[in-house]
Chains A and B, each alone.
Chain A
């Protein structure tokens, strides 16, 4: 017999992502899924961001890495709740991994929850985890052609943080072409150019985040 079904193959992940979203909404968490290639500066941006806003909004972090706890230790040193997920080889976080650590965080005390995804410019963009915002980082040293070569993450993201702009004098890539290539792929992308080393540009990014958290609260 023929059985007609229309079943999205990624539906299991979508269903759990929806469950996560309900948990976050119940606790009033605004959730940011932070993605980038390895080495673009996710952890450093998180550290700087948390230093700047932790007195203004209660923060929590879920750290995703293939192995190790160094990132969680760096974040934990700032005195914010953090839980580490080790994916044991998997190249992205999925909704189920997030779901399995939710009980380890004091969610009702957190307003802004960062999920630091596994360093990878491709796969994390394929999997929703229940976030309110996808934000990605591209460091200037990665080259200005990356939005055109790896479009999906740029298309899925609300925010692009261009990091390490202090390195621009030493590189051939330039900020304008990174920005215009990214906007070609996703015209509604919010772009911030920052240096986590010098602090340049970070205030705009932090204020944008705070505004998004506020907007969420008033809804």
Chain B
């Protein structure tokens, strides 16, 4: 029982889920037609791009890196879709393939820079972010255009009228993450984010793992771009900044620690949900959209603080537990252990 409580307290996803539930309940009570298929689909459509991008960013952050290229890849994907397709299905599919390939390419560049050339991840991805934004502007200097029907409204609709495409995408992110979590690669990224030197000394292929992380993240950002384009149904090379900020917010609300080694994409997906529901809830409550940003920021900070508090509580519980059963050796060893933390760095 107490283990379950500890797990829950130290798990950021649980906290984010609690916040999401509360908001959703408020939302349901504040408006009359929330629980309709249309409304639910609309909500899913809104959060799908965030969910996909946040899943990618979570991989990078757990591995101890940082990725600012999101914004660049998303707009690149967006302008490719708009400019490289006409109204036909074939051209649309081809454009999607090109967009995803572009995402992989940017991810590969990030990966080479960070993993093999050892450029700091913030610097490397800031560089690729700016470059991608520049390329997007070259491809599409002024906003506008349109996309084929299968993207918009196609990706916003429900398959067979019952299963929203967005839900499929979100589900795929979730399942993909759970598979990665159980794979060797998944263990490696947590190891890497926790202590790179120890990871090397444990025989983990550090550079290769990092490369794959950025590659996968680049792909997911491009996919997020596709889902976002389904929402906007047009192209805009300058529309990335707010989206990128929200992706980082989703990851933070989900309890993933910036700095690496801890967190989960499940949390980030729920975090994206929190941001989406928040927007709907405020609208339903009649709050002007001008205030949305203020509340989003406040929720982010609140979630992180609550995360710290519950983490602290979990550690206190753990300490109490280890303090209780003290047979001959444990107590003295535990004492030395805290000293060891100091001298470990020698």
The answer on A and B forming one complex is no
B residues in contact (CB < 8 Å) with A: none
A residues in contact (CB < 8 Å) with B: none
